[in-house]
């Protein structure tokens, strides 16, 4: 099922993946923060309808997330970030991640806008070698028929 004319929105994809990951993998989902905890690593999923480069850069600089627990907060280090977008960001964004080793090992970008146009092939940049992000990609293919092609093989 490609997402053309679909009511499935980006946040639905993330929510459905989190449900699957909790049920099938037993991973700890911190729902209100779009975090998946596996062992001592935290995987943060960012989804946005409108991508802004300056916001992206500021979030990349912050490598932590404060979690509210009852009446207190605790800060956790974000091990991996996945950006799920419904527009294709400018090449400068892809290059920033690709050419910065400390980012390319922990940040993935998924541009899913083509799926909403009825095309199965979407772009990705994922050099993290991370099991959670690999499972997210497999989930998109299995559940929605989305094939992710590496950005740098296309351009």
Tokens 């009825």 sit at which residue? 118
Mean pLDDT of 96-105: 92
pLDDT of amino acid 75: 80
pLDDT of amino acid 8: 77
Condensed to tens digits (0 to 9), the pLDDT of residues 40-53 reads 999 999 988 778 88
Condensed to tens digits (0 to 9), the pLDDT of residues 10-66 reads 888 999 999 999 999 999 998 888 899 999 999 999 988 778 889 888 888 888 777
Q: What is the mean pLDDT of the chain?
A: 88
Strands (DSSP E) found in 8-71: 28-30, 35-38, 41-48, 64-69
CA dist 43 and 30 (Å) reads: 10
123 strand-pairing partners: 111, 149
| Claim: this prediction has a pTM higher than 0.75 | yes
CA dist 112 and 117 (Å) reads: 9
pLDDT of amino acid 82: 96
């Amino acid at each position: 099922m490609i997402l053309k004319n679909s009511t499935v929105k980006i946040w639905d994809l993330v929510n459905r993946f989190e449900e699957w990951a909790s049920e099938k993998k037993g991973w700890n989902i911190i729902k209100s923060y779009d975090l998946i905890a596996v062992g001592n690593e935290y995987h943060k999923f960012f989804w946005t309808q409108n991508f802004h480069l300056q916001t992206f850069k500021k979030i990349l600089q912050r490598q932590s997330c404060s979690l509210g627990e009852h009446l207190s907060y605790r800060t956790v280090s974000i091990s991996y970030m996945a950006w799920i977008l419904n527009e294709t960001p400018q090449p400068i964004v892809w290059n920033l991640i690709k050419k910065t080793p400390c980012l390319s090992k922990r940040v993935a970008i998924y541009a899913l806008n083509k799926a909403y146009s009825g095309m199965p092939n979407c772009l990705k940049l994922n050099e993290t070698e991370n099991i959670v992000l690999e499972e997210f990609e497999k989930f998109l293919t299995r559940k929605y028929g989305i094939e992710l092609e590496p950005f740098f093989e296309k351009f």
